[in-house]
């Protein structure tokens, strides 16, 4: 069954894309959740308009993400944490703490899901963190975990 996506759907496509999906997936999941509509002749014209709007929006967000990247890479974010004498943290510093620190110190609103960490930091020191600003763009932020006083 051919459907036109109304919104971006992970592993399927973006808004305005015409995709071929299984009948059950289209009828039971995509259409009822208003993520897609059936591809008819009239709807194909609407799909082209949605696709053009998405291209313009993506270009604008990519330009904004490049500006944010330059701001993020030039600064160091400081995260205070309780630690022992040997530098081992009593807890850990995860992606939500890093995202909150970036938002507070640099004024860049970030969701924790945009800061993918392999595992939380468990020691004091400086760490390099990849931040996904756009599907095509990531920035490396230096995060310094310091002893809380």
What is the CATH number assigned to the segment(s) 75-147?
3.10.430.100
Q: Which CATH superfamily is domain 2-60 in?
A: Ribosomal protein L9, N-terminal domain (3.40.5.10)
Q: What is the pTM of this model?
A: 0.68
pLDDT score of 6: 87
CB-based contact 9:2 (threshold 8 Å): no
pLDDT in tens, 32-61: 999 999 988 888 877 787 788 888 888 888
Residue-range domain boundaries for the chain: 2-60, 75-147
Residue 107 has which token pair?
């004024």
Q: Where are the alpha helices (DSSP H) in the chain?
A: 23-25, 41-73, 95-106
Sheet with strand 2-5: strands edge to edge = 18-20, 2-5, 36-38
């Amino acid at each position: 069954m051919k459907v036109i996506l109304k919104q971006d759907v992970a592993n399927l496509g973006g808004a305005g894309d015409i995709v071929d999906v299984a009948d059950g997936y289209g009828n039971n999941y995509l259409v009822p959740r208003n993520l897609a509509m059936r591809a008819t002749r009239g709807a194909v014209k609407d799909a082209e308009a949605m696709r053009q709007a998405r291209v313009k929006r993506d270009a604008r967000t990519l330009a904004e993400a490049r500006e944010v990247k330059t701001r993020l890479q030039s600064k160091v974010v400081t995260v205070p944490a309780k630690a022992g004498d040997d530098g081992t943290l009593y807890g850990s510093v995860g992606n939500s703490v890093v995202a909150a620190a970036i938002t507070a110190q640099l004024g860049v609103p970030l969701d924790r899901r945009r800061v993918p960490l392999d595992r939380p930091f468990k020691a004091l020191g400086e760490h390099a963190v990849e931040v996904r600003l756009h599907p095509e763009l990531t920035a490396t932020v230096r995060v310094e975990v310091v002893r809380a006083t």
